[in-house]
Amino acid sequence: MGNSLKKWFFPVCLVLVLALFCLVWGCFFIPEQNSNRVVWELNPSAEEIYNLLSLEQSIRSNNLDEAKQSALLLVERDPSEETFVEAVSELMLKGEKSVSLEIAAKGHALYPESKRISLVYAEALMQSGRMEEGVALLSAYAEKNPYDTHIIMRLSDLLVRLKQFSKANEVLNFIPADAKPTELDPSFGAYADTPARKTPYYLYMKAKALLGLNKLKDAEALLKRAVEKDPKFVEAWAELAFLYEKSKRPAEALEIYNRLLELDRSNPSIWIRIVYSELQLGHVDNAFSAVELGPPTVNFLMQAGQLFTGFKEWNLAERIYLKAAALPGVDDEVFLYLFLVAYDGSKDLERAVNYLSMISPDSPLYERAVLYKIQALSENKRYSESMAVVEEALDHFPAQKSFWQTKASLYHVQGKYAEAEQLLDEALQRFPDDPELMFAKGALYDQLNRKAEAMQVMEAIVKAHPDNSAALNYIGYTLADKGVELERARELIERALAGDPENAHIIDSLAWVYFKMGNFAEAYKTILKAMEFSPQEAEIWEHYGDIAEKVNKPTEAKKAYARALELSSEDSAEIEEKLKKVRD
């Protein structure tokens, strides 16, 4: 708004200078006066100036209520295209969505053919979450104004970002063959006299749309034409490299990234793509050399370390993370990554735990470090050390619930069930009715075959926390497994699934309810969904086998039981018996 205010500066000064004379001659008059205030009635010209100044002042002072009022009065008094655009733009900059949208809608109703108002109205719609309406507005404008290549290019770019590739391609086809780039189009300037459809930017945008439609050959041809016309068109080169990556042609992608590096050696994104391409080609030494030559920043090194981790180059990944750890201002997260490569990759427990010890109790990552350390030590059956770690953590943070849960789990895994139960009771005194602690207690009772007490705890959880998916599922599955209260079991499990729709165990429970109800077709359809989310669960495979046999799919049943045995089910003898009985 700053530029437009300049045109008002002289008139405003003139109004102020003439104000005294106006008092005499009647340009202003006083309709009402009391001991507290004077109300001035301004003539229309002065009011327009006042409202414009008030809008900018209220926005500067972050007084949005005044800004709304000033904007509404401004467009009411001066309903020009310029006023609407500036009022909407200023309000959107301050995040005032509702009034900017209201004003933009009024402006568009008055000036439906205006490009500037169409743009700000579309932006206001999209900022308000009405993305489809904003796109439709711009599309309608583009279709009516096919020679406005600027707005068509912007719309196409927006559609690509929204992954509406077919629509983006269609919009670009609006541009006539003889259209030239309009001002503000990225192709304007050097290509102002070139047909828009032959400019590098048009070819680039068309290629992006086709690439999204998986028309790789057509996209590649267009991108090659774009960079041939403009060898310094970095975005087009990068898109071509991405296409080569997508086509599993890492050598060609690498060639482009090296070319781009000549244009911008400081760009960390290019260095990362070089590292990735070299790793894909199996050139591990070249990839590591690229890391050493790349920008020595924490962000770059962390990304590079993750790439090496992904390719299971554990030792080199560790060296990269250590290099990052030596830089000032590095986040403690680097020690979590060092732990993972040392533990998962190098299988060096001592070094892994030492990395976690670098994270101090005042770090926001301390809780995760403690839990990782306990997990690693417990997996190696070093329970006394695990217990020492969690007790030290509880000394520092006695109000941290996860540490209480972990200590109870350590007792549990060692078979110290009485100690686990006592600790959970103590924790529940500190955290009354906490659903996670209550569930841990119910699960402990279940494992100890104290089923009635387990059900009491789970029912108490559901009473206090009606949407707790874990407890709902436990009760529902238990009822189904017993073959009792099947309608209630289904209702509870469906409630659990509403809160956790991709949980394979809950989907499996629902399949088991249908199985117990004798609705084998629905059970089969449901168990297939469970398999999609968790194909490594022995119990789900066993249920799959039971259900497959009921729907007359003996081959699938045999495969399911065999897979359940491979996954080391606790009920292996029972599954072996089922496998023997499957009819061919």
- The residue among 517, 581, 519, 518 whose CA lies nearest residue 545 is 581
pLDDT in tens, 336-371: 999 999 999 989 999 999 999 999 999 999 999 999
Instruction: Give 66's pLDDT tier (boundaries 50, 70, 90).
Output: low
Q: Which pLDDT value is given to residue 49?
A: 52
What residues contact residue 53 under an 8 Å CB cut-off, 6+ apart? Answer: 5, 8, 12
Q: To 5 degrees, how large is the angle CA 468–CA 472–CA 475? A: 145
Mean predicted confidence (pLDDT) in 47-68: 56
Q: Which pLDDT value is given to residue 129?
A: 87
Q: Dig out the tokens for 451 from the structure.
A: 């089923």
Mean predicted confidence (pLDDT) in 254-261: 93
Q: Dig out the tokens for 128 from the structure.
A: 């308000």
Q: Which pLDDT value is given to residue 53?
A: 54
Q: Tell me 179's DSSP state.
A: P
Q: Which pLDDT value is given to residue 62?
A: 59
Q: Which pLDDT value is given to residue 6?
A: 36
Mean predicted confidence (pLDDT) in 243-264: 92
Percentage of residues in the chain having pLDDT higher than 70: 88
Q: Which pLDDT value is given to residue 574?
A: 86
CATH of domain 1-129: 1.25.40.10
Q: Which pLDDT value is given to residue 31?
A: 39
Instruction: Give 85's pLDDT tier (boundaries 50, 70, 90).
Output: confident
3-state secondary structure 306-348: HHHHHCCCHHHHHHHHHHHHCCCCCCCHHHHHHHHHHHHHCCC
Q: Which pLDDT value is given to residue 571?
A: 67
Mean predicted confidence (pLDDT) in 87-95: 78
- Name the residue with higher pLDDT: 38 or 18: 38
Mean predicted confidence (pLDDT) in 311-331: 95
Lowest pLDDT segment from 77-81, 274-278, 471-475 = 77-81
Lowest pLDDT segment from 53-57, 76-80, 300-304, 471-475 = 53-57
Beta strands in 184-326, from DSSP E residues, in sequence order: none
The domain ranges of the chain are: 1-129
Tell whether the model's pLDDT for residue 576 goes beyond 90.
Answer: no
Tell whether the model's pLDDT for residue 423 goes beyond 50.
Answer: yes
Beta strands 38-41 and 29-33 are antiparallel
Tell whether the model's pLDDT for residue 174 goes beyond 80.
Answer: yes
Q: Which pLDDT value is given to residue 58?
A: 52
Q: Average model confidence (pLDDT) for the chain?
A: 86
Decide: pTM greater than 0.75.
Answer: no
Exposure class string for 207-246: b at 16+ Cβ within 10 A, else e = bbbbbbeebeeebbebbebbbebbeebeebbbbbbbbbbe
How far is residue 136 from each of residues 121, 149, 160, 198, 251, measured CA to CA in Å? 11, 17, 15, 26, 41
Q: Which pLDDT value is given to residue 98?
A: 80
Q: What is the DSSP string of 100-113?
A: HHHHHHHHHHH-TT
Distance CA 292, CA 153 (A): 40
Give, rounded to a whole angstrom, the gap between the first and last alpha carbons of the chain.
81
- The residue among 91, 148, 71 whose CA lies nearest residue 114 is 148
pLDDT in tens, 488-544: 999 999 999 999 999 999 999 999 999 999 999 999 999 999 999 888 888 999 999
Look at the alpha carbons of 499, 501, 503, 504 in this order and tell me if their dihedral is positive or negative.
positive
pLDDT in tens, 120-172: 888 888 888 898 898 898 888 888 999 999 889 989 998 998 899 999 999 99
- The residue among 209, 125, 207 whose CA lies nearest residue 165 is 209
Percentage of residues in the chain having pLDDT higher than 90: 64
Tell whether the model's pLDDT for residue 324 goes beyond 80.
Answer: yes
Tell whether the model's pLDDT for residue 284 goes beyond 50.
Answer: yes
